[in-house]
Chain A
């Protein structure tokens, strides 16, 4: 029943995509398509939520599609149900936003047909229960999102972004094909059920893990495979960016969890160390890159890289505990990772919606050309502020809860027997704290430069508040962030089933705790109560306001800014995004970005303007991708010779190849 209903939703989405091909240019088409998608997502969300909470046994269905001897298997267990909830909640919000935002779309026929197909692809990946269906849906998702990235292919760097995305997506799928090949073994048991039961050869698990990291990690944005993400995610229309950053990266996390936790089913200290190291590096490198960006959407995309790193830290911790049979600790870390997945899908969507609103209102994405929008976009700024607080892991919003749980998991690490892990995990905890603090810096900068201060351009000075659908979506997402932050116990209890399914144990039920607080291990050890924190803050703030208004002077006078006596009316004298990030660039960037500042100060009497030049390099791009690209080009250049041979030479080449193959066959033991 569950699977059938979900498959009908998917079929409806696919049909909607087909219809949109013909109807995209008509008036009202965009409202119809997004409305239809919203309906499908709501149904799918309800069905998946029911499957997640009801605890019914996994539902399965087989369709006579795909490989003739295999068929297409679909199955919704608790893990799939959780990710379906995340996908359809995020997609539903994006659809609602799209109803308003899509009206400004200059090329609807390039967006509308692919959008429902993209949603269908993401749902199918999570439901797939055999390798073929999984990979096919995975490619479906990749290609439809690629088409959406290329919607405005003539603008700026979008064509290059699409090209790099395509290459990285193909690479990722290749790694996944190999991983599934290894899991299926020589008999070709491509159904997931067969893979779970299979006994593996000893050298295999680590290789499968690495291939899963390459395949799913490249889609999720793990460093060093993240390069496509900050190019491709911002290139798409904003609600699609929200989907790609908030939701599609979660599908990639699902792929990794499915392969490593479920299908592979065993872990070693080594594998967890690899995942932890990659997660820690991703978190810090992602957020440092985000701090250096001036394009708002690119900043958000890099911050996605950071959050994916945090999710992988949680997964790595869980693997470490699992490999040592510490079920409860593994459940705690895994819950933290899933909670981070859920939370990130909410606040990242919210922030991308905010970026879309800024883009609609001003036509600008560059924060150095914005400013003072809090006066013009009053409501958008409130929602964006909520998202910024949430993503900076500040109480009482939801980002803090998942990071807090992760710190609690880190604190259990001394009980691990392996020395390497014992020493590594506190350092990873330090990196986690560093990335949280830098993330707060990053969003102080983003909100401060864009919404506060004085407008830097006429476009920013004349911005108009966006439409009601966009505002409603942003406030819905912000409300969900707040609710998830003050009632985390309910969420943790909701995650019991998927956690139990994959780690074999679960956190103690939280609903029984007094006052809805959460206590991961025992109350004497650590506990947190978001609701009371919010109430206390609200209470003491109101008390402060009441006392002040009762006893203090109420006089208020508006005057020019003080600025130590030297206010300058020109908005250019404000701090910019670049100058705000300068101290952090100086502290962290001299190694990571090879940042060099050159100051040219003309001597007295010289009328030349002084100048400051900053050069930064992306070491990963220069050291890994550019050489690889050159290598491929050089190889292609060589192979190009084969294109211009005579027929005689081709025939002799074919003959030679035949002889060689026969020789190999003859000599093969």
Chain B
């Protein structure tokens, strides 16, 4: 019985992240537009975009290979699996032990590997520039992320997200300098990984500074829909991750009554809304930086992560 309940929670979670991901992107866009005194498209616009894309015909470059078509589905699948393993409204997901936080990050690495390859498949200069910059950013973001994981694992004694969330809700953990540093570093990494301002601009085309959009330039139709939903999923994953680790209040424990799950889901939605507003505020308040300033930005995240870890080595109570 318990297994069936866990499985159900897991399946609901998988469906939930998939359904919520475009909405989250839509909300961020809407809030950003309002902050810029524009009216902005409806929050449902990303869904409409996706439906329009999958109904359209695919225009593929003449020399695109099988990898180009396969990669779109693989990127979607790996990102979805990774997003489904991050606790959103409830811990105790049936398959949470399949992959710990390190493995989830590595799964996103697999998705990025294919995305970067897809960018190079047609052999255009824009694809190359995107892939080349993406791997440069990743090569700095991944170590920073790993150091954040180290900090968290030292506090929680585990790299398992469910355990982490449970430990960090405990009152004795409290406010810590090291966790604060980890939070800032994680936010910086999340911004870089999701191609948000100031690292990359998700709303741009025809600009020499673009990274993510340059890689997916040749995609169209249903393949582009897969890539778009994967990007939304990744953004939702990072926001859920931050919420699960740094704001784990209200997350439902395993085996709770149905009402508790409903409350957990409502609290999760509230956290997402807060995340969307904060992200939009941050993005409106800051200007995009040059590509070669990005290493400094991520170097800062790296140093914060390392400092957080070292503080914990000095004393476990920091």
A533-B103, A583-B133 given; A575·B73 CB < 8 A: no
- Residue of A at shortest CB range from B153? A411
- Taken residue by residue from 127 to 143, chain B's Cβ proximity to chain A (1 for < 8 Å, 0 otherwise) reads as 11101110110111111
Q: Count the A residues whose beta carbon is within 8 Å of the partner chain — how many? A: 87
**In the assembly, what is the distance between CA of A567 and CA of B198, in Å?**
29
Q: A555 in the interface, Cβ–Cβ < 8 Å?
A: yes
Q: A181 in the interface, Cβ–Cβ < 8 Å?
A: no
A441-B138, A553-B54, A560-B62 given; A394·B110 CB < 8 A: yes
Q: B150 in the interface, Cβ–Cβ < 8 Å?
A: yes
Contact between chains at A434 and B106 (CB < 8 Å):
no
- Residue of A at shortest CB range from B207? A564
Residues of B45-95 at the interface with A, using a CB-CB cut-off of 8 Å, are 54-63, 65-67, 73-74, 76-78, 80-81, 84, 95
A541-B76, A553-B222, A557-B58 given; A453·B122 CB < 8 A: yes
Q: Which of B156-164, B235-243, B248-256, B278-286 contacts A (4 or more CB under 8 A)?
A: B156-164
Contact between chains at A525 and B160 (CB < 8 Å):
yes
Contact between chains at B217 and A562 (CB < 8 Å):
yes
- Residue of A at shortest CB range from B58? A556
Residues of B within 8 A of A581 (CB): 132
- Taken residue by residue from 354 to 389, chain A's Cβ proximity to chain B (1 for < 8 Å, 0 otherwise) reads as 000000000000000001101100000000010001
Residues of A within 8 A of B106 (CB): 393-395, 400, 404
- Taken residue by residue from 534 to 563, chain A's Cβ proximity to chain B (1 for < 8 Å, 0 otherwise) reads as 001111110011001001110111111111
Contact between chains at A553 and B159 (CB < 8 Å):
no
Residues of B within 8 A of A574 (CB): 123-125, 128
Q: Of A400, A407, A429, A559, which one neighbours B60 at CB under 8 angstroms?
A: A559
A404-B103, A441-B135, A584-B136 given; A558·B62 CB < 8 A: yes
Residues of A within 8 A of B226 (CB): 544, 548
Q: B267 in the interface, Cβ–Cβ < 8 Å?
A: no
Contact between chains at B129 and A575 (CB < 8 Å):
yes
Contact between chains at B65 and A440 (CB < 8 Å):
no
**In the assembly, what is the distance between CA of A557 and CA of B309, in Å?**
53
Q: A160 in the interface, Cβ–Cβ < 8 Å?
A: no
- Residue of B at shortest CB range from A399? B106
Residues of B within 8 A of A564 (CB): 126, 205-206, 217
**In the assembly, what is the distance between CA of A582 and CA of B292, in Å?**
11
Contact between chains at A517 and B128 (CB < 8 Å):
no
Q: A633 in the interface, Cβ–Cβ < 8 Å?
A: no
Q: B99 in the interface, Cβ–Cβ < 8 Å?
A: yes
- Residue of B at shortest CB range from A389? B113
Residues of B within 8 A of A440 (CB): 109, 112-113, 135, 138-139
Contact between chains at B135 and A584 (CB < 8 Å):
yes
Q: B195 in the interface, Cβ–Cβ < 8 Å?
A: no
What DSSP secondary structure best describes chain A's contact surface? helix
A400-B106, A426-B150, A562-B218 given; A437·B63 CB < 8 A: no
Q: Of A437, A551, A575, which one neighbours B143 at CB under 8 angstroms?
A: A437
Q: Count the B residues whose beta carbon is within 8 Å of the partner chain — how many? A: 87
Residues of B within 8 A of A545 (CB): 73
**In the assembly, what is the distance between CA of A422 and CA of B66, in Å?**
48
Residues of B within 8 A of A385 (CB): 67
Residues of A within 8 A of B100 (CB): 526-528
Contact between chains at A524 and B123 (CB < 8 Å):
no
Residues of A within 8 A of B73 (CB): 541, 544-545, 548
Contact between chains at B110 and A389 (CB < 8 Å):
yes
**In the assembly, what is the distance between CA of A436 and CA of B158, in Å?**
22
Residues of A within 8 A of B122 (CB): 453, 561, 563
Q: Of A394, A539, A548, A561, which one neighbours B61 at CB under 8 angstroms?
A: A561
Q: A157 in the interface, Cβ–Cβ < 8 Å?
A: no
Contact between chains at A575 and B221 (CB < 8 Å):
no
- Taken residue by residue from 416 to 450, chain A's Cβ proximity to chain B (1 for < 8 Å, 0 otherwise) reads as 00000011001101111110111011001101110
Contact between chains at A444 and B123 (CB < 8 Å):
no
CB distance from A134 to the nearest CB of B (A): 38
Contact between chains at B160 and A526 (CB < 8 Å):
yes
Residues of B within 8 A of A432 (CB): 146
- Residue of B at shortest CB range from A524? B163
**In the assembly, what is the distance between CA of A573 and CA of B128, in Å?**
10
**In the assembly, what is the distance between CA of A56 and CA of B112, in Å?**
46
Residues of B within 8 A of A544 (CB): 73, 76-77, 80, 226
**In the assembly, what is the distance between CA of A269 and CA of B179, in Å?**
29
- Residue of B at shortest CB range from A401? B103
**In the assembly, what is the distance between CA of A445 and CA of B113, in Å?**
10
CB distance from A432 to the nearest CB of B (A): 8
- Residue of A at shortest CB range from B107? A395
A434-B139, A449-B120 given; A404·B97 CB < 8 A: no
Contact between chains at B132 and A533 (CB < 8 Å):
no
Q: A452 in the interface, Cβ–Cβ < 8 Å?
A: yes
**In the assembly, what is the distance between CA of A335 and CA of B61, in Å?**
47
Q: B310 in the interface, Cβ–Cβ < 8 Å?
A: yes
- Residue of A at shortest CB range from B97? A527
**In the assembly, what is the distance between CA of A523 and CA of B139, in Å?**
30
Identify 17 residue pairs between A and B in the complex whose beta-carbon atoms are under 8 Å apart, listed by A's number.
Answer: A372-B63, A393-B106, A407-B146, A423-B310, A437-B140, A437-B141, A438-B139, A452-B121, A453-B123, A517-B97, A525-B158, A532-B98, A536-B95, A544-B226, A553-B222, A561-B124, A562-B217
The 6 closest A-B pairs by CB, nearest first: A575-B128, A453-B123, A555-B57, A448-B120, A541-B77, A441-B135
Question: Contacts A395-B110, A411-B153 given; 12 further ones with Cβ under 8 A?
Answer: A374-B121, A400-B106, A423-B310, A441-B139, A453-B120, A519-B97, A525-B160, A537-B74, A544-B80, A559-B62, A563-B217, A587-B140
